């Protein structure tokens, strides 16, 4: 006898650290993660159970990436440091947007790590270049590895994650 997979079920392979981090976030943030996942599910194109176990393509879609980070078990690769930061911000927007709101309130002497308005990123030098993440947050394009490391450490502090374990940079 073969048990069928209910039609409303989505099978997704995720790294164990990502699942553990999501469960940890879920328990600390009440139902926010569950609601985000439900909202996200409605935007996904659901595949049939027959295609759920399809192997990954052997060729990476992202070539010649210079920088890598690991966020909750998922590898993040990009050509620039701002792209790494923007990707992590975008990944967080769906599961813990309140962390990003808190991060937007943090500022260094010269800039905010993220902002809703372009002009709120560089406080004393608004002419410096910025970029907008997919989720709508503005970040500086002028960041070094040290700047990004400081921003990611602050991000971890605000989110209750551990830098070097839940978020690794460089990976």
- Residue 76: which CATH number? 1.20.1380
Q: Residue 9 falls within a domain, yes or no?
A: no
Q: Which of the four pLDDT bands, split at 50, 70 and 90, describes residue 147?
A: very high
Q: Residue 31 falls within a domain, yes or no?
A: yes
Tell me what the mean pLDDT of segment 40-49 comes to: 41
Please give the tally of structural domains in the chain. Answer: 1
pLDDT (0 to 100) of residue 155: 97
How many Å separate Cα 157 from the centre of its chain? 15
Domain that holds residue 132: 16-53+67-168
What radius of gyration, in Å, describes the C-alpha atoms of the chain? 18
Q: Residue 22 falls within a domain, yes or no?
A: yes
Q: Residue 60 falls within a domain, yes or no?
A: no
Q: Which of the four pLDDT bands, split at 50, 70 and 90, describes residue 66?
A: confident
Lowest mean pLDDT: which of 18-27, 31-40, 60-69, 134-143?
A: 31-40
Tell me what the mean pLDDT of segment 36-46 comes to: 46
pLDDT (0 to 100) of residue 58: 36
pLDDT, the chain, mean: 79
Q: Residue 75 falls within a domain, yes or no?
A: yes
CA–CA separation, 101 and 12 (whole Å): 29
pLDDT (0 to 100) of residue 53: 42
Q: How many CB atoms lie within 10 A of CB 120?
A: 16
Does 87 have pLDDT greater than 60? yes
| 3-class secondary-structure state, position 112 | strand
pLDDT (0 to 100) of residue 13: 72
pLDDT (0 to 100) of residue 63: 44
pLDDT (0 to 100) of residue 20: 67
Tell me what the mean pLDDT of segment 119-139 comes to: 95
Q: Residue 61 falls within a domain, yes or no?
A: no
pLDDT (0 to 100) of residue 78: 94
Q: Residue 7 falls within a domain, yes or no?
A: no
Is the distance from CB of 15 to CB of 74 less than 8 angstroms? yes
Q: Residue 128 falls within a domain, yes or no?
A: yes
């Amino acid at each position: 006898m073969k048990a069928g997979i209910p039609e409303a079920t989505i099978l997704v392979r995720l790294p164990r650290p990502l699942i553990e981090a999501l469960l940890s976030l879920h328990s600390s943030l009440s139902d926010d993660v569950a609601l985000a996942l439900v909202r996200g599910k409605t935007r996904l194109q659901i595949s049939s159970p027959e295609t759920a176990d399809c192997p990954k393509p052997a060729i990476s879609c992202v070539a010649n990436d210079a920088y890598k980070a690991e966020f909750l078990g998922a590898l993040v690769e990009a050509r620039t440091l701002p792209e790494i930061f923007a990707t992590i911000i975008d990944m967080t927007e769906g599961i813990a947007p309140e962390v990003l709101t808190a991060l937007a309130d943090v500022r260094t002497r010269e800039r905010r790590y993220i902002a809703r308005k372009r002009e709120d990123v560089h406080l004393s030098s608004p002419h410096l270049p910025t970029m907008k993440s997919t989720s709508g947050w503005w970040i500086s394009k002028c960041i070094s590895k040290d700047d990004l490391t400081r921003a990611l450490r602050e991000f971890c502090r605000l989110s209750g994650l551990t830098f070097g374990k839940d978020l690794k940079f460089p990976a």
